[in-house]
Chain A
Amino acid sequence: MGRELQFEIFRYNPQKEGDQPRMQTFKLEETQNMTLFIALNRIREEQDPSLIFDFCCRAGICGACAMVINGRPGLACQTKTKDQPNKIVLHPLPVYKLIGDLAVDTGVWFREMYEKTESWVHTSKTFDPTKEEERMDNEVAEQIYELERCIECGCCVAACGTARLRDDFMGAAALNRIARFVVDPRDERTDKQYFEIIGNDNGVFGCMGLLACEDVCPKGLPLQNQLGFLRRKMGITAIKEIFRK
Chain B
Amino acid sequence: MQTYYSDLLVIGAGLAGERVAVDSAEKGFNVTCLSIVPARRSHSSAAQGGMQAALGNCAKGEGDCPDVHFGDTVKGSDWGCDQEVARLFADAAPIEMRRLAHWGVPWNRVVPGQSFYFKGGQKFEKYEKPENEGLITARAFGGTAKWRTCYTSDGTGHAVMCTMDNRCAQLGINVLDRKEAIALLHDGETCMGAVVRCLRTGQLEAFISKATAICTGGFGRIYKATTNAVICDGGGHIIAMDTGLVPIGNPEAIQFHPTGIVPTDILVTEGCRGDGGTLLDVNEERFMNIYEPEKAELASRDVVSRWMTHHMREGKGVKSAYGEHLWLDIRHLGDKHISTKLREVDEICHHFLGVDPRTELIPVRPTQHYTMAGIRTNKDGAAYGLKGLFSAGEVACWDMHGFNRLGGNSLAETVVAGGIIGAKIVEFLEGYETKLKTEIVTQECKKQEQRIKDLISGRNGSENVYDVRNDMQEALMKGCFVFRNGPDLEETVETLQKVLERAGRVGLQSDGTGVNHELAAALKIKGQVKLALMIAKAALDRTESRGSHNRVDFPERNDAEWLTRTLAYWKEGETLPELQYEDASQVFEIPPGERGYGGGTIIPADEQFVKERTIKKDK
Contact = CB atoms under 8 A, between A and B. Distances in A.
Interface of A: 13-16, 31-33, 35, 37-38, 44-45, 48-52, 54-64, 77-78, 80, 82-83, 99-100, 103, 105-108, 110-111, 114-115, 118-121, 123, 125, 127, 129, 131-138, 140-142, 144-145, 148-149, 151-152, 184, 186
B561 to A, nearest CB: 41
Interface in B250-271: 262-264, 266-267
A39 B229 CA distance: 17
Given A56-B37, A59-B264, A145-B153, 12 more contacts: A16-B513, A32-B321, A50-B518, A52-B514, A52-B517, A62-B229, A99-B178, A127-B103, A129-B98, A133-B97, A148-B158, A148-B159
A13 B514 contact: yes
22 contacts: A15-B201, A33-B352, A33-B363, A44-B517, A54-B37, A57-B43, A57-B46, A58-B230, A60-B351, A62-B37, A62-B40, A62-B46, A64-B38, A80-B354, A99-B200, A111-B169, A111-B177, A120-B103, A141-B107, A148-B155, A149-B155, A152-B40
Given A56-B37, A99-B200, A49 B134 contact: no
A127 B102 contact: yes
Nearest to A181: B104
B153 A107 contact: no
The 5 A-B pairs with the shortest beta carbon distances in the complex, nearest first, are A135-B134, A15-B514, A107-B38, A50-B510, A49-B518
B41 interface: yes
B13 to A, nearest CB: 11
Given A78-B352, A142-B106, A14 B514 contact: yes
Contacts of A121: 103-104, 166
Classify the secondary structure of B's interface with A. Answer: loop
Classify the secondary structure of A's interface with B. Answer: loop
Contacts of A64: 37-38, 41
A138 B111 contact: yes
B610 interface: no
Nearest to A14: B514
A59 B46 contact: yes
Q: Which of A37, A45, A108, A119 has the most CB of B within 10 A?
A: A45
Interface residues of B, number: 72
Contacts of A48: 510
A186 B104 contact: yes
A107 B108 contact: no
A5 to B, nearest CB: 14
Given A15-B515, A138-B134, A120 B104 contact: yes
Interface in B168-196: 169-170, 175, 177-178
Given A49-B510, A135-B109, A37 B134 contact: no
Interface string B26-54: 00000000000110110101100000000
Nearest to B92: A129
A109 to B, nearest CB: 9
Q: Which of B231, B354, B517 has the most CB of A within 10 A?
A: B517
B106 A148 contact: yes
Contact of A137 (B109, B152, B159): B109
A56 B169 contact: no
A82 B355 CA distance: 12
B348 interface: yes
Contacts of A55: 230
A60 to B, nearest CB: 6
A115 B169 contact: yes
Contacts, number: 202
A111 B39 CA distance: 10
A33 B167 CA distance: 40
Given A59-B266, A127-B102, A119 B169 contact: yes
A59 B157 CA distance: 14
Interface in B548-605: none
A129 B348 contact: no
Contacts of B516: 49-50, 52
B99 interface: yes
B11 interface: no
Contacts of B386: none
B312 interface: no
Contacts of B145: none
Contacts of B110: 138
Contacts of B88: none
Given A49-B508, A99-B200, A56 B98 contact: no
Given A62-B41, A133-B135, A16 B98 contact: no
A119 B535 CA distance: 42
Given A33-B354, A106-B38, A142-B153, A137 B134 contact: yes
A138 B200 contact: no
Given A15-B202, A15-B513, A56 B41 contact: yes
Given A111-B169, A134-B102, A141 B109 contact: yes
B95 interface: yes
Contacts of A82: 354
Contacts of A149: 155, 158
A64 B518 CA distance: 19
Contacts of A106: 38
B438 interface: no
Contacts of A108: 177
Q: Which of A14, A57, A114, A132 has the most CB of B within 10 A?
A: A57
A157 B170 CA distance: 24
Given A61-B46, A136-B109, A138-B109, A148 B162 contact: yes
B144 interface: no
Contacts of A140: 106
B428 interface: no
Nearest to A184: B104
B515 A99 contact: yes
A120 B170 contact: yes
Nearest to A32: B321
B340 interface: no
A144 B162 CA distance: 12
B45 A62 contact: yes
Contact of A141 (B106, B166, B170, B363): B106
Nearest to A78: B351
Contacts of B231: 56
A135 B513 CA distance: 54
Contacts of A114: 165-166, 169
Contacts of A145: 106, 152-153, 155, 159
B133 interface: yes
A8 to B, nearest CB: 20
A83 B95 CA distance: 48
Q: Which of A108, A132, A133 has the most CB of B within 10 A?
A: A133
A38 B107 CA distance: 35
A35 to B, nearest CB: 6
Given A62-B41, A119-B166, A129-B98, A56 B229 contact: yes
Interface in B215-268: 229-231, 262-264, 266-267
A38 to B, nearest CB: 7
A149 B43 CA distance: 15
